[in-house]
Amino acid sequence: MHETCHGERPGFCRCAEGELRTTSGVCWRAEQGRSGGVESEHMPEEVAPHIYRLAIPLPDSRLSTVNAYAVLNGDAVRLVDCGWNTPEAYEALKAELSALGPGIAGIREIVVTHIHPDHFGLAGRVAEESGARVLMHRLDGQLVGARYADTRALIDEMEVWLRLNGVPADELAAMTEGSLGMLRWVDTRRPDVLLEDGERLAWEPYRFEVIFTPGHSAGLICLFDRESGVLLSSDHVLQRISPHVGLHVQSSADPLGAYLDSLRAMHDLPVTTVLPGHGKPFSDLAGRVDQLLEHHAERLDTIRATLAGGPATAHDLAARLTWRGAEDGWATLEPFQRRMALTETIAHLEHLLAEGRVKREELDGRVLYTA
Ligand SMILES: [Zn+2]
Ligand SMILES: [Zn+2]
């Protein structure tokens, strides 16, 4: 079976040691070849010295994969993010770490860059199996219980808040519960260590600094090694898509303001290699930061202009804006996508409010915004 296995990158295809086998005993690379020609996406790729990108498959997502990064030092692995808690993601992570040598048992620490299921979902299972410590920023670490374990209060709060922001009664239940399906993809684990901005992680040969970059989530962190210029940017800066920044019941008052500030703060870092949470590595951080800042400036102007017709709820406004995937109208979006669009619209409105460019008032149990 293994004779079909021939690695393109020197050092990875170690068939003689059997390190590329999946649990079913099949050559990992050959199996990937049979399963639709996506093998290069499922092989560890050395993206900086001692740092390997592990592309973990996502269920039903247009992003298709999330990146976990393994920092390898002998038999010890430090993992940054893990993927959803699905059998496919687990098998991919296991096979890729086995291909590198240490396997899951070699993981000593797992840094979860933020609380979203695609980055956090497998942390519990992997930590349990390896004995690794889980590290997260304090702010996301504190949200784990309410979001994934005792969710009732959060769901009730979300319903009240969606109604306040103009969601009609017939859409309320579906939009409130739109994210519940994701709970099955998270093996809830409270972090062992809560990180703060500026802390150092001495992961030989790197010395990563924790950079607190809130916005996409309340406690998102990037890791930066000044000497090599390697930045693990998580979902804060992605090359092809603009990360979702939404305001909801677990976020700060102005998450878009926080996001734009943390983008600007990152602009001049001496970065040579950006290792993002999704997609391929890239190098032009400053250029990408400029594009993202410009995108949000345009979006803020568009949203303010859309308010020219008179006071509106965030929901009415969101339904009038253009959204990717909603070319046939707002109603064609799935309830969860509508909620994402709504929370993103509110984030922009509240940032306009903070800048003094719109007004907000509450009338008959609805929040109305005015230009
Ligand atoms: Zn995310
Ligand atoms: Zn993500």
Q: Return d(Cα 235, Cα 292) in angstroms, integer.
A: 12
Task: Say how many Å lie between the CA of residue 159 and the centre of ligand 2.
Answer: 25
Q: Output the tens digit of pLDDT for each of the chain's 371 residues.
A: 222 232 222 222 223 332 332 222 333 333 333 333 334 445 799 999 999 999 999 876 667 899 999 999 999 999 999 999 999 999 999 999 999 999 999 999 999 999 999 999 999 999 999 999 999 999 999 999 888 878 888 888 899 999 999 999 999 999 988 777 778 788 888 999 999 999 999 999 999 999 999 999 999 999 999 999 999 999 999 999 999 999 988 888 999 999 999 999 999 999 999 999 999 999 999 999 999 999 999 999 999 999 998 999 999 999 999 988 888 888 889 998 999 999 999 999 999 999 999 999 999 999 999 99
Q: Is 213 exposed, middle or buried (0-12, 13-18, 19+ CB in 10 A)?
A: buried
Q: Return the amino acid letter for 352.
A: L
Distance 3 CA to ligand 2 centre (A): 36
Q: Which of 161, 188, 186 is nearest to 175 (CA)?
A: 161
Q: How far is the CA of 276 from the centre of ligand 2 (A)?
A: 9
Do residues 264 and 149 lie in contact, with contact meaning Cβ atoms separated by under 8 Å? no
Centre of ligand 1 to C-alpha 65, Å, is: 12
Structure-block tokens of residue 60 = 């039903």
pLDDT of residue 7: 28
CA–centroid distance, residue 58 to ligand 2 (Å): 10
Tokens of 211: 């950079």
**Distance, CA of 369 to CA of 361 (rounded, Å):** 7
pLDDT of residue 145: 84
Ligand 2: distance of its center to the CA of 117 in Å? Answer: 8
Q: What is the DSSP letter of 241?
A: S
- Distance from the alpha carbon of residue 75 to the mean position of ligand 2, in angstroms: 28
DSSP characters over 97-160: HHHHSS-GGGEEEEE-SSSSHHHHTTHHHHHHHH--EEEEEHHHHTTHIIIIIS-HHHHHHHHH
- Domains in the chain, ordered, with CATH? 38-370 (3.60.15.10)
One DSSP character per residue, 65-102 reads EEEEEEEEETTEEEEE----SSHHHHHHHHHHHHHHSS
Q: How far apart are CA 293 and CA 176, in angstroms?
A: 30
What is the C-alpha separation between 338 and 41, in angstroms, rounded? 30
How many A from CA of 277 to the centre of ligand 2?
6
Q: Where are the beta strands (DSSP E) in the chain?
A: 45-48, 51-57, 65-73, 76-80, 107-111, 133-137, 193-195, 200-203, 206-212, 221-225, 230-234, 273-276, 359-363, 366-370
Q: Which of left, alpha, beta for 74 (phi over 0: left; psi -120 to 50: alpha)? A: left
pTM of the model: 0.86
Buried b (16+ CB within 10 A) or exposed e, 202-212: ebeebebbbbb
**Which among 259, 248, 239 is positioned nearest to 340, based on CA atoms?**
248
The residue type of 189 is R
pLDDT of the residue at 191:
97
Look at strands 65-73 and 51-57 and give their pairing: antiparallel
CA 363 to ligand 1 centroid distance, Å: 34
Ligand 2 center to 150 CA (angstroms): 23
154 CA to centre of ligand 1 in angstroms: 19
Length of the chain: 371
Cα–ligand 2 centroid distance for 66 (angstroms): 6
CA–centroid distance, residue 169 to ligand 2 (Å)? 31
Q: How far is the CA of 142 from the centre of ligand 1 (A)?
A: 17
Closest among 162, 180, 152, 160 to 338, alpha carbons compared = 162
Cβ-based neighbour number of residue 366 at 10 Å = 18
Locus of tokens 């410009």: 294
pLDDT of residue 40: 44
* Whole-angstrom distance, CA of residue 289 vs CA of residue 244: 15
